[in-house]
Structure 1
């Protein structure tokens, strides 16, 4: 795969197109199967509420992966991501209905480095709350 974005064409402040990723309970069950994380707070409303959560919540790593998609889709090559880190600031609450939840992800280039690398600051929100904090990816561009 080749990168869609060239280092010479990017400046600090360049915005990545905002994306909205739907999350339904079925997505969480599929993710549990793929990841092996079958913690009941990710699929059982009764258990989630019994531990003080408002409802079933998405896996943190699922949320992180969805936010990372913003960057990999923008650059066009997942292998171009050299570093990626987040802090979880709020859960993505996923109701048991036809709509589920949404994770709205945006980003902007916050720094240009040597060796064709840029830092992308990422913002992820769900249900009006910022669900990831201090989120950024270092990407090597063509």
Structure 2
């Protein structure tokens, strides 16, 4: 496995493809987060509001983006993380996560991150600052 310490500006982390979004994923997330807005779990409620169906919690998608860095937590931690939501994530969408290092300042690695759906439409784009720790 490549370490973050060895990366250079322009390097990309391996893409992570999530399993198709399931209703049970969203029900579990609602319970864990306390966000019980019915647009995330009840078809009729989402349709009443003009949505094409239930949509994933934005924070569910954002949280999954951090999986790009999970293999590297022995090297450091996410110090800063921000995103812009670019599109809705629907049931059965297959989300792909990616990151590219865009800057390095001593022990701070700056990444552009994204999540796209199965038709390569961006649903999230953002920035992560990962701080390396001395080992």
Structure 1 length-normalised TM? 0.84
C-alpha distance in 1, partners of 2:87/2:4? 34
- The equivalent residue for 1:91 is 88
In structure 1, the partner of 2:45 is 47
SS in structure 2 of the partner of residue 80 of structure 1: strand
TM-score (norm 2): 0.88
Structure 2 counterpart of 1:119: 110
Q: Which residue of 1 aligns with 2:24?
A: 26
Specify whether residues 60 and 6 from structure 1 end up closer, same or farther in structure 2 by C-alpha distance, changes over 3 A only. Answer: closer
Instruction: Select 2:73's aligned residue among 64, 72, 76.
Output: 76
Matches of 2:129 and 2:27, distance apart in 1: 30
From the two aligned structures, give the one with the greater strand fraction: 1
Structure 1 pair 78–41 and aligned structure 2 pair: CA distance change class (3 A): farther
Aligned length: 130
Partners of 1:65 and 1:6 in 2: CA distance = 20
**RMSD across aligned positions (CA):** 1.7
* In 2, Cα distance between equivalents of 1:33 and 1:78: 31
